[in-house]
Chain A
Amino acid sequence: MKFIKDHIMFILPLVAILLGIEFFLVFDRMTASYEQRLREGYSMLVVSNEPISLQELQSINKNIGQSIKIERDEILKEISLGQKQEDIKEILNVLPNFYTIKLAKYLDTSSLDELQKDLMANKKIKRVETFGNSYSSNYKLFSFIKFILKVFIVFMSVVSLFLVIKQMEVWGYVHKERMQVMEIFGAPIMLRSGVLFKVAIADALIATSIIVSLFLYFRYQIAEISGVDVLMNNSQLLFQPNDAVTLLLCAIIIVVISVYMVVFSSREKEA
C-alpha cells in the first residue's frame, strides 16, 4: 500500500509534466497546420512590365515561396477575337505579365505590408493585389491562445517538477540509511543508487505509457470515429509515434536529474 502511494506520488506529477509536453506538441502541430492553411489560402497577384523569374522575386523579398505565371495566351484569346495578326502582336507587347505569388511561410500583417512595399519598389512591377482577408484577425486570436497555453504549460511543469523533487526527497529519506551504510562499506555511487534508478526509470516508463495510451485513445477511439469533420481530418495531429520517444526522453531526463539530487544530498557528510 505504501509502495503504491509512494509511486503514485511520483508518477502523477510526472504524468502532469508529460501531459503538458504532449499538449504543447499537439498544439504546435495544430498551429503549424493552421498556418499552412492560412498560407495556402492567401495569394498575391503581381503585375509586371517584363517577365520576372522566381529568383528575382525572392531576391526582392525572401518570404516568397512560389510564383505561378498566368499564361497570357489565355487572356490574349479573350481580347483578340477578330483582330488581325499584327494587332495581336501589338497587344502582346503592351500586355503586362501576371504572377500569382505564394508565401514561403506564414507572415504577420506588418511583414505582409513590407512584402508588398518591397515589390512595389521594384521598377519592373506595376501593381500588387492581395486576396485573403480574414488573415490577420484570426491569427491574432490564435497567437494569443498559443501564448496563454505556453504560460500555462510552463507553470504546470514548474509546479509538477516541485512535486517530483518533493517525492524524491521522501525517497531520499527512505533510501538514505541504506545508501550511507553502503557508502561506508565502499560501494560506488552506481551501486548505491541502483535501486533508486531502477524504480525511477520504471516510473518514467509507466508515466510515459499513461500519456501515450491516453493520446492514442483520443486519436483512434474519439477523434477518428467522432463523425466530426474537423476532428477526423486532423486526428493524426493528436498523436504521432515520435511523441512517445520525446516523452520518454523527457521523463528519463527528469528522473535521472531527480535521482542524482537524492543521491548527492544523502552522501555522508563529515560529522
Chain B
Amino acid sequence: MANVIKATDLTLAYNRGKNEIIKNANFSVKKGEFVFITGPSGSGKSTLLKSFYGHLKPAGGSLMVGGLDLTEVSTSKLQELRTHIGIVFQDYKLINEWTVAKNVVLPLMIAGYSLDVQHTQAQRLLRHVKLTEYANKHPFELSGGEQQRVGIARALAKNPMLILADEPTGNLDEYSSNVIWDLMENACGQLETTVVVVTHRIPTIFSLPYRHFIIENKGVYEVH
C-alpha cells in the first residue's frame, strides 16, 4: 500500500530553526492505517501534526503527505491537499459566530456543496456525535466536550483521505470517548481513511489493528 505520510530525516523547529522540537525523524504511515502518537506534554505531538497539514514547514529533511512534498509546496497545492484532510484540534478551533450545524459542514461548504446537501449532512453528522439538539446553537454555548465532538464531526464531514486528531477525547468522559473511538474506527475500517491520533491514553478496548509511535527526546519511535 502507498504511503500517505512519509518522513525522512524530518526536523521540525520554531523560531527559524532555533527551537528544535523534532530532529531527524524517520517514519511512514500507509493508506488505511490507524496510528496513535503518544509522548510527554511538550514533547512535540501537536507540532508534528501541524507539519502534516502544512502549517509548519520542515526545517530539515523531507516530508511527503498525500504524495506532496511539503518542504516545497505551492499555496494552491497545499489548499487542495487540505480539503482532503480532516483535522481535530486540541483547542477545537470552532468558529464562534457560526452555528454548530454550519461549523460541522465547513469542509462541504469549501468543496462547494449546495446548502441542501450541507443541511442534510449536518444533521447526519450531528446525529453521529449525539449533538442533534445543538444544531442551531453557537460553539461558545457548548461545554468543552461538546465542542470537541463538533470538531470531530467537522473532521469527518467530507470523508477525508486523512484524519489528524489532537487529543480528540481529552475532554470527554468514558462513554463519549467510546463514541468517538467507534466513529474513528468506522472511518478507518470501512472507508479506508488513514487516521493519526495524538492521545495521552490509548483506549483499552480497540478493535482495529493499530501502530503506536512515541515522541521522546526529539525522536519519533515506533512502539512494538
Which A residues are within 8 Å of any B CB, using their own CB?
177-178, 181-182, 184-188, 191, 268, 270-271
Contacts and interface: CB of A to CB of B under 8 A. Distances in A.
A189 B53 CA distance: 17
A30 to B, nearest CB: 48
Interface residues of B, number: 24
Interface string B106-142: 1101100000000000000000000000000000000
Interface stretch (B3-11, B75-83, B193-201): B75-83
A184 B193 CA distance: 19
Nearest to A178: B95
Contacts of A271: 14, 50, 55-56
Nearest to A179: B95
A268 B110 contact: no
Interface string B48-68: 001001011100000000000
B83 A186 contact: yes
B93 interface: yes
A262 to B, nearest CB: 16
14 contacts: A177-B96, A182-B95, A182-B110, A184-B53, A184-B55, A184-B87, A186-B82, A186-B107, A188-B79, A188-B110, A270-B57, A271-B14, A271-B55, A271-B56
B106 to A, nearest CB: 6
B82 A184 contact: yes
A185 B82 contact: yes
Given A188-B79, A271-B14, A182 B56 contact: no
Contact of A185 (B14, B50, B87, B97): B87
B81 A186 contact: yes
Nearest to B80: A186
Contacts of B109: 191
A186 B53 CA distance: 10
Contacts of B82: 184-186
B56 A270 contact: yes
Nearest to A181: B93
Contacts of B81: 186
Contacts of A177: 93, 95-96
A191 B95 contact: no
Which 6 pairs from chain A and chain B are nearest by CB? A186-B82, A186-B83, A187-B110, A178-B95, A186-B79, A181-B93
Contacts of B14: 271
A125 B158 CA distance: 90
A6 to B, nearest CB: 13
Contacts of A191: 109-110
